[in-house]
Structure 1
Amino acid sequence: MARTQAADYEQRREAIVDRAARLFARRGFDGSSVADLAAACDTSKSLIYHYYPSKEDILYAVMSSHIDQLVADVGAVLARGGGAAEQLDALIHTFMGHYVGAADRQKVLLNELDSLPPEQRATVVAKQRRVVDAVQALLVALDPELGLDPARARAKTMLLFGMINWTHTWYDPDGPIPPAQIADMALAMVQAS
């Protein structure tokens, strides 16, 4: 007879991912062991392996949960319609909101991609490209001349992401400037160039 799944199975998996994000963000993937994660979760290594077959699968879950949210944000904003300026504004504000609330996951996504096995890394990179391409399309819609120079369009897009992606390294959510204002500043800088 097959073993039934606990009613809180998904909540336990998510708790492991939350703790892993915090641990990997602070110590790095290579600097963290499954024993460290088990200790952070106040559980055993065998229970961690019950939920995830490997440490790499946990890393993938950390990254996937974050990038999947960003992909969903793109889909939701584009589905609402509106002009390119309105959509870009909504996306950057939404991204900033997630980056502040998921700083550990963002840091892991940016710093540990090479720690994933090739197939999982390719999946995450493909999703990142979808997000980047959507933002680039909006920038080109706002400035059609960018469409004539794909290299410049990509550079401008990556400059925008460079401004917002790395806020986890310096931004203080308890400081005097709210995330929405940071998003406004990034948008103003990109639109001025």
Structure 2
Amino acid sequence: MARTQAADFEERREAIVEKAAELFANSGFLGASVSDIARACNTSKSLLYHYYPSKEDVLYAVMESHIDTLVDDVESLADIQSSAQERLRILLQMFMKHYMGAAARQKVLLNELANLPADRRALIVSKQRRIVDAVQSLLVLIHPDLKKDKDKARAKTMLVFGMINWTKNWYRADGQVSEESLVDMMMEMATAG
């Protein structure tokens, strides 16, 4: 007989995702076993499989939870009536908040994509492209000359993501530079002619 869902089913799934994100970020997807995830969650492997049928399903849930937050950030810009420069600033602030608050998930997203089955990898990549395209559109609005040079526009866009993606490796929230100052520096570099 199939096991019924607990009242806190979604909370337990999220707790598994959180612990798995930390394990995958520290040990890599291949270096963390289902037994490791179960142990980190203080549960059994069989109960873990009740929530996620496979380790790849857990990996996908880690990535999807993070990428969907970033897609939501991009989609929230549609409601903001301001300049492209101000919308980019707002988006960078949101991204930094989410990247810093979910450093393990961001690391997994950056490093473990190849371990997803092809169909799920394609879903994540599609969402990544939407995010990248949204930032590129803002940069083109800020620098209309980029409209004529798609390669330069993409390069400038990817440089912005390079700044964001690596910040978690060195930035210390308790250091001398505030997150707001950091976003100001990113904006200065991203919008320089």
The normalised TM-score by structure 1 is 0.96
What is the rounded CA distance, in whole Å, between the counterparts of 1:9 and 1:31 in structure 2? 27
Determine if contact 1:70/1:95 at 8 Å carries over to the other structure: yes
Is residue 120 from structure 1 mapped to residue 114 from structure 2 by the alignment?
no
Counterpart in the other structure of 2:64: 64
Counterpart in the other structure of 1:158: 158
Q: Shift of residue 124 of structure 1?
A: 0.2
Identity value in percent:
61
Please show how residues 48-87 of structure 1 align to structure 2 within 5 Å.
48-87=48-87
What is the aligned length? 193
Q: Shift of residue 183 of structure 1?
A: 1.6
| CA shift digits 1:62-116 (9 cap, x unpaired) | 0000000000000112222321111101000110011110000000000001010
Q: Shift of residue 179 of structure 1?
A: 2.1
Counterpart in the other structure of 1:17: 17
Please show how residues 1-193 of structure 1 align to structure 2 within 5 Å.
3-193=3-193
| CA shift digits 1:20-73 (9 cap, x unpaired) | 000000000000000001111111111110000000000000000000000000
Letter of the 2:170 counterpart: W
Q: Shift of residue 2 of structure 1?
A: 6.5
- The gaps in structure 2 that reach 5 residues or longer are none
SS of 2:171's equivalent in the other structure is coil
- The gaps in structure 1 that reach 5 residues or longer are none
Determine if contact 1:25/1:105 at 8 Å carries over to the other structure: yes
What is the rounded CA distance, in whole Å, between the counterparts of 2:101 and 2:10 in structure 1? 20
Judge which range, 76-85 or 12-21, deviates more. Answer: 76-85
The normalised TM-score by structure 2 is 0.96
SS of 1:108's equivalent in the other structure is helix
SS of 1:167's equivalent in the other structure is helix
Determine if contact 1:21/1:108 at 8 Å carries over to the other structure: yes
What is the rounded CA distance, in whole Å, between the counterparts of 2:3 and 2:47 in structure 1? 15
What is the rounded CA distance, in whole Å, between the counterparts of 1:54 and 1:175 in structure 2? 40
